[in-house]
Amino acid sequence: MTDFLLRQMRHGIWANERLLERCRALTDEQLDLTVPGTYGTIRKTLAHIVSAEEGYLVRLLGSLLHEPPLREPDLTLEGIAAHIAHVTNAVERLFAKGSPDPDRVIADTPLRRAGAPRFEMAAWAPAAQFVYHGIDHRSQIDTILSTHGLETLDLQIWPYAMELGASREVKETR
């Protein structure tokens, strides 16, 4: 059985990829749209999602995904696409040897800057935050698109599961 967390993380990647494709159809001006109460522009929010996901995975894996690491990104859509690929690869590596132990204490992150405080945490914390964070900010992009009269996407679990054949309509026959 596929680990539930792995399914959740793959859903997040799927949703980011769909959102990226939607963004490719927007103009530069549209990518710079925002609304009060959200993180920022569409482009910055998508970059923030992917950057944070890399950060959670670096902590979980204990090693950088690439050099130099991604910090405070100001990314083009192509740059975001490249980092989604890093996230995808890292998620699969995380589960390559089975489900990670949620209670394993992670002492530090390779991303910690010199002089910055060190946080210890159980592995479940950045894993759960990965799931929460992506949904939170994708919802904000949805709000921005909708507020400005632009087409939004259905990024719920339902369409993802339908696409995978894990959920489907059954035609009853008599």
Partner 1 sequence: MATSVLDHVLQHNAWANKTLLEFCDGLEPAALDLSVPGTYGTLYLTLQHIVGGEQFYIRLLTGEVLGAPVRKTERRTLEDLVAISELTSARAIAIAARDDADRVIAPGDDQTTVGIVLAQLIHHGNEHRAQATTILGAHGRTTPKIGAWTYGIVNGISRNDGD
Q: Of the two residues 2 and 78, which places its CB atom closer to partner 1 in the complex?
A: 2
Q: Are the C-beta atoms of 91 and 7 separated by less than 8 Å? A: no
Q: Of the two residues 23 and 127, which places its CB atom closer to partner 1 in the complex?
A: 127
Nearest approach in angstroms of CB 137 to partner 1 is 8
Phi-psi region of 74 (alpha: psi -120 to 50; beta: other; left: phi over 0): beta
* CB atoms inside a 10 Å sphere around CB 130: 24
Q: Of the two residues 87 and 127, which places its CB atom closer to partner 1 in the complex?
A: 127
Q: Of the two residues 89 and 139, which places its CB atom closer to partner 1 in the complex?
A: 139
Nearest approach in angstroms of CB 10 to partner 1 is 10
Residues 6+ apart with CB under 8 A from 91: 6, 9, 10, 13, 57
Q: Of the two residues 66 and 148, which places its CB atom closer to partner 1 in the complex?
A: 148
Cβ burial, residue 60 (10 Å; 0-12/13-18/19+) = buried
Name the 3-class secondary structure at 105: strand
Return residues touching partner 1 (CB under 8 A): 1, 4-5, 7-8, 11, 35-38, 52, 100-103, 119-125, 127-129, 131-133, 135-140, 142-148, 156-158, 161, 166-172
Name the 3-class secondary structure at 121: strand
Nearest approach in angstroms of CB 61 to partner 1 is 15
Q: Are the C-beta atoms of 155 and 138 separated by less than 8 Å? A: yes
Nearest approach in angstroms of CB 20 to partner 1 is 18
